[in-house]
Structure 1
Amino acid sequence: MIKNVVRRGAVTLGAVAVAVTSLAGVAHADRGVPYVKPNQSGDGVACVQQALRFAGYGIDRDGKYGTATYAALTDFQRKHGLSADGIVGPKTGDALYYGYLKPSGGLVEGELCPTVIPTTH
Structure 2
Amino acid sequence: MLKKYAAKAGLVVGAAALVAGGLGGTANAAEGAGYVGYGYTTSGSAVWCVQHQVNSIAAKVGRAQVSEDGKWGPRTDAQVRWYQSFVGLDSDGVVGPRTGDYLLAYGDQYYGGLNGYCTSLIPSDSGLGGMYVHTRLD
Normalised by the length of structure 1, the TM-score is: 0.70
Task: Assess, with a 3 A threshold, how the Cα gap between structure 1 residues 30 and 58 changes in structure 2: closer, same or farther.
Answer: closer
Which of these residues, 66, 78, 91, is aligned with residue 73 of structure 2?
66
Does residue 125 of structure 2 align to residue 120 of structure 1? yes
Which of these residues, 87, 95, 116, is aligned with residue 88 of structure 1?
95
Q: Please give the alpha-carbon distance, in whole angstroms, between the structure 2 residues aligned to 1:73 and 1:111.
A: 20
Q: Please give the alpha-carbon distance, in whole angstroms, between the structure 1 residues aligned to 2:65 and 2:116.
A: 23
Q: Please give the alpha-carbon distance, in whole angstroms, between the structure 2 residues aligned to 1:111 and 1:69.
A: 21
Q: Please give the alpha-carbon distance, in whole angstroms, between the structure 2 residues aligned to 1:52 and 1:88.
A: 11
- Contact 2:27 / 2:125 at 8 angstroms: preserved in 1? yes
Q: Please give the alpha-carbon distance, in whole angstroms, between the structure 1 residues aligned to 2:56 and 2:36.
A: 18
Sequence identity percentage = 35
- Aligned to 1:52, the other structure's residue is in SS state helix
Q: Please give the alpha-carbon distance, in whole angstroms, between the structure 1 residues aligned to 2:65 and 2:30.
A: 29
The Cα of 1:82 is off from its aligned counterpart by: 0.7
Q: Which runs of 5+ in 1 are unaligned?
A: 1-23
The Cα of 1:30 is off from its aligned counterpart by: 2.6
Equivalent position amino acid for 2:49 in 1:
C
Q: Please give the alpha-carbon distance, in whole angstroms, between the structure 2 residues aligned to 1:87 and 1:71.
A: 11
Q: Which runs of structure 2 are paired with 1:1-80 in the superposition (5 Å)?
A: 25-38=25-38, 40-56=42-58, 57-80=64-87
Equivalent position amino acid for 2:28 in 1:
H
Normalized per residue, the structure richer in helix is 1
Q: Please give the alpha-carbon distance, in whole angstroms, between the structure 2 residues aligned to 1:111 and 1:55.
A: 16
- Contact 2:100 / 2:124 at 8 angstroms: preserved in 1? yes
The Cα of 1:120 is off from its aligned counterpart by: 1.2
Q: Deviations over 1:54-107 (max 9, x none)?
A: 1114111000000000011001101111111100000000000111132xxx2x
Q: Which runs of 5+ in 2 are unaligned?
A: 1-23, 59-63, 127-138
Query: Would you say how many aligned residue pairs link Structure 1 and Structure 2?
Result: 94
